Amino acid sequence: MQCDHLVKGDKAVSIDFSKFKVPGPKSLELFEEESNFMAPGLQSIGLFSRIVVKEAKGVWVEDVDGNRYIDFTAGIGVGSLGHAHPHYVKVLCDQIARANYGSFSSENRVEFLRLLTSETPTGLDAVQMYSGGAEAVEAALRLAKSVTHKYEFCAFWGGFHGKTGGVLGLLGDTSFKVGLGPMMPGLYLPGPYAYCYRCSLGLSYPECGFGCLELFREGIRRQTTQNIAAILVEPIQGTAGNVVPPPGYIKAVQELAKEFDALLIADEMITGFGRTGRMWGVERDGIVPDVMTLGKGIGSGFPLSAIVSSMEMAKAKPFGNPSGSSSSYGGNPMAAAAGRAVLEVIKNENLVENARKVGAAMMKRFLELKEESPFVGDVRGQGLMIGVELVKDKKTKEPLNKELTRRLFHECLDRGLISMCYSHNVRINPPLVISEEDALEGCEIFCSALKALE
């Protein structure tokens, strides 16, 4: 028996998939076999592409049919080093042959923490490790409660912070929590993020004077009991479509948090570790938040996430009690080895600078595309975190429909590019090791696939 939902993908579109060469016959056969056992709810990119990966090196991925692709997704911001980086392979192989679980310290963990805290903003020197993003965000909320003895949290429309119960109510999106209520009490979404291309208030920056934050402030006043432990914010909203707020906005959010005597938690799950062309997303506004949640690129594929705060805060109880902040997998020897290897490569290969340089070259090409294509409404980005927003009409800004974006996704695959372009908010986040040549080749593929839609 085959699971239709997995094999055919999204039924909302009526595309003749047989005219595409990807997925090839071997991928399809294996994918269909797997679908007998796989529960629904796979990440869209795996579900829609139906490719089975044979091997991958750096930014190049090869499937079991021999099709090769440039990867513009990095496993949604996870694969900072790309696949099979030799130093990463060596450090992890060495560690697995010696000790691979448990919460005892290891030489790699000592070195990882030393390296990490030499990069974190001044004052953020206490790290606790976890194995997923939502888990780290939940830990940050527990820490904020322990520090402030308050119990309310605020986050932004469009924000994404994971799908576990403690953070679900802080998702400012329109789909993930539908039907899963009631949400945990004390979680609020008082107002919109600075998504200037589609300003919820119909205003324009800079004349608006961050009117969206004014609304957020008013939302806090009216919705909460003003016992705010923390405000949670992404320096750039990833899941919403790599939405870059104007400079100064995150600093203004920090001031707002201070006004309510709340902590500021910067969710750097995607923006951290060089992705934006700076080590941390918050650096753009020159601020130091109270807590940062870190993940994705930190492990380059190994499940590793973390939170970082001052040591003084981390001691707050119950978070700071023995076993109060820990977990079974967090900071185990393998995770620590992965973190160490990633940081060493980021430093030794100047990957932050590479993200800035290659990202600028990609932005230039996408801005040209905006002039050339009737479908590109907005292009925004920092480093290798780029958003391209596709519209049906540049004046009305009506989003390009699913039928066309799904076709675009398959046109890209057929030409050798894996890209998150199955929605009108295209997110481009290749591994940080990408060369300018590969990046521009990927851009040209995207441009030609978009042209094919015309």
Ligand X SMILES: Cc1ncc(COP(=O)(O)O)c(C=O)c1O
- Please report whether residue 138 would count as binding ligand X according to CB under 6 A: no
- Please report whether residue 274 would count as binding ligand X according to CB under 6 A: no
**Pick 28 or 78: Cβ nearer ligand X:** 78
Q: Mapping DSSP to helix (H, G, I), strand (E, B) and coil, where does residue 236 land?
A: coil
- Please report whether residue 134 would count as binding ligand X according to CB under 6 A: yes
Dump the DSSP string for 43-91. -HHHHHH---EEEEEBTEEEETTS-EEEESSHHHHT-TT-B--HHHHHH
Closest contact distance (angstroms) between CB of 10 and ligand X is 20
- Please report whether residue 429 would count as binding ligand X according to CB under 6 A: no
- Please report whether residue 161 would count as binding ligand X according to CB under 6 A: yes
Cα distance from N-terminal residue to C-terminal residue, the chain: 39
- Please report whether residue 284 would count as binding ligand X according to CB under 6 A: no
Closest contact distance (angstroms) between CB of 374 and ligand X is 30
- Please report whether residue 275 would count as binding ligand X according to CB under 6 A: no
What are the C-alpha distances in Å from 146 to residues 123, 165, 324? 18, 19, 11
Closest contact distance (angstroms) between CB of 38 and ligand X is 18
Number of chain residues interacting with ligand X (CB under 6 A):
14
**Pick 162 or 277: Cβ nearer ligand X:** 162
Burial of 106 (0-12, 13-18, 19+ CB in 10 A): buried
- Report the residue count for the chain: 454
9, 58, 82, 162: residue in contact with ligand X (rule CB under 6 A)? 162
- Please report whether residue 137 would count as binding ligand X according to CB under 6 A: yes
Sheet containing 376-382: give its strands across: 376-382, 385-390, 425-428
- Please report whether residue 269 would count as binding ligand X according to CB under 6 A: yes
- Please report whether residue 306 would count as binding ligand X according to CB under 6 A: no
State the Cα–Cα distance between residues 49 and 45, nearest whole angstrom.
6
23, 58, 238, 281: residue in contact with ligand X (rule CB under 6 A)? 238
58, 79, 132, 245: residue in contact with ligand X (rule CB under 6 A)? 132
Q: Are 430 and 59 in contact (CB under 8 A)?
A: yes
State the Cα–Cα distance between residues 235 and 383, nearest whole angstrom.
13
Per CB under 6 A, residues contacting ligand X are: 132-134, 137, 160-162, 234, 238-239, 267, 269-270, 295
